[in-house]
Amino acid sequence: MRLLSSRGPQTLLTSRRYWPKFCLSGLVSLCRSRSGLVALMLGLFALLTTTNAFAMKKLSDAQLGQIEGQQGVLISFDYYYNSQYTGKQIVDNSASGGSANFNINGRPLSGFCGNFGTIDSSTNCRLTWQLNGHDGGSGDFGGMTNAKGEWLVFKNGYLSMSVNRISLDGAFLGGAASTGSSYESFFDPLRFQNGSGGCLLPDGARGKACTTANIKLMPALRTSYPKNGDTKYASAPTGKATSGSYNSATNISSDFTDVRFGLGISGMAVEYGPNGYKATSITTPAAHGSFVALKMADVNANQAGINFGGSFYMYGF
């Protein structure tokens, strides 16, 4: 598969409009600061690498053995692709049929990409896919001989994502609520076996055995959104344990902030030929318009709000 993205004169994912923003627990002051971008990136690496600015001491094996893995990391992360960070700026769009309390954060870069909904005024802000074997060189597919290369073109698109205070932690699977005794009947050892029936779970305290007891002892990467009432994180933010509510008097949802996600694709089409990905109505051959457009947003914002509960564990076998 080939992937091309255009924002301005550059291709691929390099553009002056690309402002990833990182914020780590303890480095919040550098969040959302364009000038601090480089420092933020370096701050992330600083936690993982050596640096002259920090004292580094070797831990002895005995000291390393005392690490219990109870301290995790809280991460917040903002990503804007062909879209703009404006903070919590609210505007009144009611005169044009929109909401009176509209949060414009994550709005598309209309001056650069063209107004959302237009697909032809510019080839900026396109993403295209080409599947292997559909590059025109092979010639015959879909019942057609000498077929031209095909591009699935996402025209005039934008995306923004904000992840707020997700916890990354190491944990033992035995701490999961669904490893209690009432769920032991769910265990399916065949899922963890190789083609010869051998168990692929790593050796545990009880040996290399596909058993529920061994699974409980296995470590895993755990992610979750700590909320008030989650006893693992004593200083979780105040707020409802089941945050997120809707006010029917104002038609406004509040506190759906674990992830804010905005997406817009003004049009999609299949275009042909070696330069199909930049076809417009005035190129030769001309573009084919669009068969669908897509949007993910909120009635009162450019970004949808999503809340997560519980934990996600990832482990290998």
Partner 1 sequence: MVREGTVCDQAFLPLRIKSQLIDAVITTTKRLCVFTRALLLTSFCLLAMASVVPAYALTPLNDGEMSSINGRGLALAFDNFSMRMAPTSYVELIGTAPTAQAAAKGWKRGDLRYYGLSMTGGSTSGKDWYGNGCTSQDGLGCPLGHDSTNTANPYGALAFASPYNPYILRVWKYPGYDYAGNWMDKNAAPTIWEFQGPTRSSKWRWAFWGELEVNHTGANQGVGACNTSNSACVSDGANFLQSQTLIYGKNITKGFQWDPSSDTYSVMPASNNSPSGGPQPAILRMMVTDADAPGPETLALTYQSALSGDFRFSVNQTANSPDQLFTVPDFSNEGGMYFKNVDAYLPLGQLHYQMITFSGVSKYDAAANEVAPEQNGNFTLDLTQIPDQAAVYNNFYCGSTNGSACATDARGMIKNPNPDSHGYVRWGNWFNPTAPATVIDPATAALGNGAYQLPAAHSTANGIYFVDPTKTGSAAITNIGVSRIEGMLIQHLSITSLGAGT
Site for partner 1 in 96-115 (CB under 8 A): 96-99
45 part of the interface to partner 1, by CB under 8 A? yes
131 part of the interface to partner 1, by CB under 8 A? yes
The half-sphere exposure of 18 on its side-chain side, counting CA atoms within 13 A, is: 11
Span of 58-66, 81-89, 106-114, 155-163 interacting with partner 1 by CB under 8 A = 58-66
Distance of closest approach, residue 258 Cβ to partner 1, in angstroms? 9
CA distance 44 to 228: 27
Say how many residues make up the chain. Answer: 317
| 191 dihedral zone (left: phi>0; alpha: psi -120 to 50; beta) | alpha
Distance of closest approach, residue 9 Cβ to partner 1, in angstroms? 26
Span of 8-16, 79-87, 106-114, 133-141 interacting with partner 1 by CB under 8 A = 133-141
Residue from 87, 142, 205, 207 in contact with partner 1 (CB under 8 A): 142
Q: Say if residue 199 is exposed, middle or buried (CB neighbours under 10 Å; 0-12, 13-18, 19+).
A: middle
Q: Please say which residue, 9 or 96, places its beta carbon nearer to partner 1.
A: 96
Distance of closest approach, residue 231 Cβ to partner 1, in angstroms? 9
Distance of closest approach, residue 284 Cβ to partner 1, in angstroms? 15
CA distance 38 to 35: 7
- What's the N-to-C CA distance of the chain in angstroms? 29
Residue from 17, 21, 22, 72 in contact with partner 1 (CB under 8 A): 72
Site for partner 1 in 236-275 (CB under 8 A): 241-242, 244-246, 248, 251-253, 256, 269-272
Binding mask 297-316 for partner 1 (x = CB under 8 A): xxxx---xxxxxxxxxxxxx
Q: Which of 294, 293, 269 is nearest to 281 (CA)?
A: 269
Q: Which of 260, 266, 231, 247 is nearest to 113 (CA)?
A: 266
Q: Please say which residue, 18 or 308, places its beta carbon nearer to partner 1.
A: 308
CB 311 within 8 A of CB 266: no
